[in-house]
Structure 1
C-alpha cells in the first residue's frame, strides 16, 4: 500500500519517491501508483490535491480498491524515479476551509445543539447543512463571532490515531463511520471529531471565518461560509462592486441602499407609464385594424403580420379588436427570426371553433398552442414563411365555413 505522507507532515510540498505502477483505467485515463505520496485523495468532503509528477500535471487523486491512483496528463517516461510537488495554494486553502468547518460545526452544536449533517468544500464557497428547519440572524452572528474568537485564540489542532477501545476516552461530535484506523482531529476543550482530512496545526492559521448566506434546503438549513484567504477574496470582490455602484448611483456606501430604493421607485413609475402608453397605443392600433378587413359570409376577417411583437402584445391587441365589433375574427402573426407566434380571436357571436383551426395549422410550424374556442395562441419554428402561415389559416377557416 502507498504510504500516506500527508498524514505524517501536512506541510510537505515536495518529495521524491518511486513509481510502483502505471496503467490506464476503464475509461483509458492514465494513472500512476507511488510508493509513498503527499497527494491527498478526494474524500471526507475534501477535494483532491493537484500538482506535478516529473513535470506532468496531476489532475485527480482517487483511492480505488485500495489503490491510491494519481491521474495524470500522460504517463511519466521514467519507470522508477518520481519527483513530485504539491499545489500548495490549493492544499492550504482546503486545510483552512476544512478546519473552519470543524470550528463552525462545533460552535453550532456546543452553543445551540444544532448538528451538522453534511459538508461540502466547494471551489468558491463551502456549505454545511444543519439538522434544523429554521435559524435567525442573531444566532448566526453569535456563532460567527464565537468561531472567530476560537480562530484568534490560536488553539492547537491535534491529529491522533486511536483504537476502538480508546474511543470511550473521548466525547466525539458525531458518530464514526469506521472502526479501524481511527483518526481524530482535536481542538482541545472545543471539538473532538473523527476525520481523515488535512488541517493546519493551529486555529490561527484558519485566519478568519465569514458566514456568507443561509437558506432553507429541503427540510434543513444550509449555511454558506468561507475561511482564510477566501475571506480576503470575498472582501475584495464586494468592495469592487461597492466602488462601482458608488459611481453609478452617485452615492456613498452608507447611502447606497437609499439611492437604490429611489432608483427602483423611479423605474417602477416609468414602467407604469410605459404600460399606460402601450395600452393607449394598442387601443389606437386596434381601432385602425377594426376598420379594415375582408368581409366573408358576413364575418369581417382581419389579419396582419408583425416583426418581433411579444405574444402578450398580440393577445392584448386581439382582445381590443374583437371588442370593437360583433362580427370579427382577427389573426395576428409575429415573425421573430426563426420562430413564428400567432394569436387568433373572434367575437362571441361568430360561430367558429378556433381551437380546431389552430390544431390544423400548428403542424406546419411544428408548433404548440392552446386556448378556448373563441381565443387561441400558439407558436413554432419558421418552417414556412409568416405569409404562408397566414394563407394556411385563411384556407382552413374557409373550409370550416
Structure 2
C-alpha cells in the first residue's frame, strides 16, 4: 500500500499517471475513484487533503477509508479504462508542506525551551493552530520560541524521512510517542526534532521561509496558539501593510503614533456618546411633559409612534407615570412589519397592565412580559398601530368602569 502513495516517495511530484481501480458512489451519493497509485494526500493528522484534477475532473476531497484512498470528484469520469492523468494543486500542496514543517519546528522549540508539549494541531486555510499543554504563556516565552524557530528555518537544515519498526524507535529521541505500531514514518530535523508523522513536508527548513506567531488564548487547561509560515507570512504582511497605509491617511498620523490617535478618538467617541444619551434623556423628559399636557383631559396618555424602539417606549412610559401618579401610559410603535407596545400605570392606579398587554397580544400573535404595573412586548403588524392603540384604550376604560 505504501508503494502506491506517491506523496511519500516524493512530495514534490505535481503530476502522475495511474490506473482506475474502481469508480463508485458512497452512501451519500458522492462519486469517487480509487487509483492504483496517487500523489493526492488524504486528510489526516491535522493536515487537509490535496486538491487538483484527475482526467480533467476536479478533485474536491480525498479520504483514506478502509485501506483505500478515495478521490471524490465534482463529476464522475466518463472513461475509466486505460491510464488517467492526475494533477496536484501545487500552490495548496506546497503551502501545506510549509505550514506542517513549520508546526514541527515550532512544537520542538516550545518543548526544547519550556517543555510545553503539543497536544493538538490544525492546519486551516488561513491560520494554523497548535494546542499546548500549559495554562499560560508570556510574551517573553513567545519571543524566545519564535526566535529559535526562525533560527532553525534560517539554518536551512535538511529534513530526513525514515520508515522504522517499533523495535527501532528506541534509537531515536522522539518528541512524543507514536500512535501507529507498524509502518512508522519519522520526520527528522537533525539535532533538533524527531517526530512520527504521516504528513507532507518540505525537504529543507529554509523552504518554510519564516514563522510568525499571531495570537494565543487559554482554553480550559491548555493554550491554543495561532501562527503562520511561508507565503502566508508574506501575504498577511502585505494585507496588514495595505490597511496600515490606509489608516495613516485616514487618521493623518504616522504608524508609530496610530495607537495613541485611536485611543484619543475612542475616548472622544465615548464622551460624545455620553453627551448624546444625556440629550436624549432631556428630550424624552420634554416629550413626557408635552404628552401629559396633551392628554390632561383623558385618563391615560395614549400615542402611536413610528420607528421607536421598545427601550425608548419604556423610558418614556416611566417618565410619564413618574410625573403623574394618576395617569396611565399606553404607547405603541410601528416599525416595518412589527408592532411594539408598552402599558404602564401610575402608583395611584390599580389596573392590571400585564393582563391588558396580554389581551392585546392575541390580536397580533405577540408575546412579552412585565408585571401588574408595567408590561411590554410586540408581534407582527397584523393590524395597524392605531387599531391596536384603540383596543388598548377601550380595554383600559372598560377595566376602569368594572373597578368602579
Q: TM-score, normalised by structure 1?
A: 0.96
How many residues are aligned here?
398
Per-residue CA shift, 1:284-319, capped at 9, x if unaligned?
Answer: 1000011122756xxx21111111112222111111
CA 1:218–1:295: 2 relative to 1, 3 Å: farther
Contact 2:344–2:375 (Cα < 8 Å) also in 1 = yes
> SS state of the match for residue 40, structure 1?
coil
Gaps of 5+ in 2: none
Q: How far does residue 271 in structure 1 lie from its aligned partner after superposition?
A: 1.1
Moved over 6 A (4+): none
**Where does 1:82-161 land on structure 2 (aligned, <5 Å)?**
82-161=84-163
Distance in 1, Cα, partners of 2:349 & 2:222: 56
Residue of structure 1 aligned with 2:204, choices 202, 205, 220: 202
> SS state of the match for residue 20, structure 2?
strand
The answer for the alignment partner of 2:367 in structure 1 is 368
- Is 1:64 the counterpart of 2:65 in the alignment? yes
- Is 1:233 the counterpart of 2:232 in the alignment? no
Distance in 1, Cα, partners of 2:393 & 2:221: 55
Q: How far does residue 28 in structure 1 lie from its aligned partner after superposition?
A: 1.3
Per-residue CA shift, 1:80-122, capped at 9, x if unaligned?
Answer: 2211110000000000111111111111111111111111100
**Where does 1:165-176 land on structure 2 (aligned, <5 Å)?**
165-176=167-178
The answer for the alignment partner of 2:270 in structure 1 is 268
Per-residue CA shift, 1:33-89, capped at 9, x if unaligned?
Answer: 111000000000000000111111111111111120001112222222211110000
The answer for the alignment partner of 1:21 in structure 2 is 22
Per-residue CA shift, 1:337-367, capped at 9, x if unaligned?
Answer: 0222222221111101212222222233332
The answer for the alignment partner of 2:165 in structure 1 is 163
Q: TM-score, normalised by structure 2?
A: 0.95
- Is 1:9 the counterpart of 2:21 in the alignment? no
Distance in 1, Cα, partners of 2:180 & 2:230: 30
Distance in 1, Cα, partners of 2:29 & 2:290: 69
CA 1:41–1:358: 2 relative to 1, 3 Å: same
Contact 2:17–2:83 (Cα < 8 Å) also in 1 = yes
> SS state of the match for residue 304, structure 2?
strand
Per-residue CA shift, 1:321-342, capped at 9, x if unaligned?
Answer: 1111121110112211022222
> SS state of the match for residue 185, structure 1?
strand
Contact 2:101–2:202 (Cα < 8 Å) also in 1 = yes
Gaps of 5+ in 1: none
Q: How far does residue 399 in structure 1 lie from its aligned partner after superposition?
A: 4.0
Per-residue CA shift, 1:181-208, capped at 9, x if unaligned?
Answer: 1111111111111110000011111110
The answer for the alignment partner of 1:190 in structure 2 is 192
> SS state of the match for residue 224, structure 1?
strand
